[in-house]
Amino acid sequence: MKDKLSKVKNLVKKYGLTGTIKKMTGYIYSNYIVRISMKEKIYVALNKKEIRKRLKRMLEREDYDRIVVWRSSFGWDVPLYQRPQHIFTNFAKQRTLVLYEVTRFTDDVKRIKRQSENLYLVNFMNKAFANYIFEAIEQQEKPRYVQFYSTDWTLTKGQIEEYERRGYKVVYEYIDDLNPHLAGTDELPVNVREKYEKTMKEKDSIVVVTADALQRDVLSKRGDSHLVFSCNGVDYNHFHNEIDPDFKFEKEFAEILEKGQPMIGYYGALAKWFDYQLVKELAETGKYQIVLFGIKYDDSYEKAGLDRQENVHFLGSRDYHVLQNYAAKMDVLTIPFLINEITKATSPVKLFEYMALNKPIVTTDMDECRKYQSVLIGHDHKEFEAKLDEALGKRSDKAYIELLDREALENTWEEKAKAIIEEMKHCEEADGNR
């Protein structure tokens, strides 16, 4: 309860009272009302024979080798189309049947929906229906896994232990520094902390890490048992080949283009780990038009006063399916983050998307950015500005563009998913030899 009250307090700061009430209403409906819906319980009870038949038909196929149940209420149809959608789309292409949790808050899925071959969106909050899914899974002799984010604060330690008792192997995706700022609370939520502590004490679960800092933490606590490094990646084709030359931009963006100055871009969350002072100093040079796409994760943007800079433009979020058209118009793409425990453990999805766009990249001195030759690093504000000017000179540098392209192709989501599946195969082979 303390976690939830803290979250509400921070939501009011972020969205105001009216916005918070709207969000809370949607959350309560998607997470609680659907659980107790009498209409849904009656429907499932009346159609249980047909439901069982359909689920049996769905699972009794030979074109997949394992079943993965994804339990983190990230949703599917969300503006920030990120790691979960990419990883599980590629799992499905690699002989893995995925049952992906959605919520009614983000997705119009009452019970189950086929998204693509081997990938189904499931409303697990519909308990009456979900019971039949688990019954059908456990009638199969395929290896089964429950996979979730380290930052998920809905699943309890007890629920994970119940999955284990029912024959599921745990896949713990350790994706970020476990920090209250990321959860939007004053303290680390209990469910986040307890699942982390359980995973670090026990060596049977698979732990997926996305950054070197997280890997060091795991190695110090449980060694390299079932440890997989799988940082974030890119859908190369989407960002490299799906740019529409005839895309119609709205007036606000078109007017920025018409100014004729170099466009410095960023997309993603605007939060406490964003270096607003750096961006303010860049704006004050008058040399650039700075364009920010994304969401305001907290009230830090307003506090920073960037909205008073005439050449800084916050344009809100853009749907993933058209985002590449906007990013392709930038001269340089950036990640201007503060260096702290959160950003030291961050593998930015946007980094690899920037590479696939073949746009010069400038970032602050983040550990996971420092690994790549194509990334220009600004160790302080003065050097960041100098690197921006250097990057502008690389826009037509053939060798540099080839480097960007090569590093993008080395970091596709297909490869990131493959690394996790390879560890699953090792586990399955070990279990088969017992």
Average pLDDT score over the chain: 91
**Could you tell me if 137 and 207 lie in one domain?**
yes
Q: How confident is the model at residue 39 (pLDDT cuts 50, 70, 90)?
A: confident
Do 333 and 391 share a structural domain? Answer: yes
At 75, the pLDDT band (50, 70, 90 cuts) reads confident
Q: What's the CATH number where 356 sits?
A: 3.40.50.2000
* pLDDT score recorded for residue 56: 95
User: Residue written as tokens 């078109």?
Assistant: 254
191-197 mean pLDDT: 96
pLDDT of residue 174: 98
CA distances in angstroms from 229 to 208, 347, 396, 404, 416, listed in the order given: 6, 11, 34, 22, 9
**What average pLDDT score do residues 123-129 get?**
91
Two tokens, residue 261: 């100055």
Q: Are residues 174 and 318 in the same domain?
A: no
Q: Is residue 417 part of a domain?
A: no
* Same domain flag for 187 and 241: no
Three-class secondary structure of residue 367 per DSSP: coil
Predicted pLDDT of residue 11: 44
Of 101, 124, 148, 122, the closest CA to residue 58 belongs to 122
Residue 87 in any domain: the answer is yes
pLDDT value for 25:
56
Task: Assess whether pLDDT exceeds 90 at residue 115.
Answer: yes
Share of the chain above pLDDT 70, in %: 90
104 inside domain: yes
Share of the chain above pLDDT 90, in %: 79
- Pair of tokens at residue 75: 């949703």
Do residue 256 and residue 399 come from a single domain? yes
Domain assignment present for residue 423? The answer is no
Name the residue type at position 270.
Answer: L
Query: Both tokens of residue 39?
Result: 């209409």
- Residues 328 and 208 reside in one and the same domain: no
Using the 3D structure, point to which of 172, 195, 229 is the last residue of a domain: 229
Q: What residues form DSSP beta bridges with 147?
A: 70, 171
Residue 329 pLDDT greater than 70, yes or no: yes
Least confident of 10-19, 46-55, 321-330: 10-19
> Are residues 223 and 253 part of one domain?
no
309, 313, 316, 322: CA torsion to nearest 10: -170
Task: Report pTM.
Answer: 0.89
Quick one: 217 and 268 in the same domain?
no
pLDDT of 32: 54
Residue 113: CA atoms inside 13 Å, Cβ hemisphere, count?
Answer: 13
Interstrand relation of 361-364 and 375-378 (parallel, antiparallel or unpaired): parallel
Say if strands 112-116 and 119-122 run parallel, antiparallel, or are unpaired.
Answer: antiparallel
Q: What are phi and psi of 296, to 5 degrees?
A: -85, 105
Q: Give the domain extent around 399.
A: 236-411
Residues 263 and 403 in one domain: yes
**Of 16-25, 89-98, 291-300, 342-351, which range is least confident?**
16-25
Structural domains in the chain (count): 2
CATH number of the domain bearing residue 223 = 3.40.50
What would the mean pLDDT of 357-375 be, rounded to a whole number? 98
* Domain presence at residue 429: no
Q: Where is the domain boundary, 229, 248, 278?
A: 229
Q: What is the DSSP letter of 110?
A: S
Strands (DSSP E) contained in 234-335 are: 263-270, 289-296, 312-314, 332-335
Q: For residues 218-227, give the mean pLDDT.
A: 98
pLDDT score of 185: 65
**Is 430 domain-assigned?**
no
Predicted confidence (pLDDT) per residue in 246-290, tens digit: 999 999 999 999 999 999 999 999 999 999 999 999 999 999 999
Nearest to 424 by CA among 228, 233, 231: 228
If asked whether residues 151 and 254 sit together in one domain, one would say no
Domain stops at, among 169, 194, 229 = 229
Residue 51 lies in a domain: yes
Is 427 among the domain residues?
A: no
Query: Are 165 and 268 within one domain?
Result: no
Residue 82 has pLDDT above 80, yes or no: yes
Rounded CA separation 151/346 (Å): 13
Q: How confident is the model at residue 7 (pLDDT cuts 50, 70, 90)?
A: very low
Regarding whether 258 and 196 lie in a shared domain, the answer is no
pLDDT of residue 36 exceeding 60: no
> What mean pLDDT comes out for the span 123-146?
95
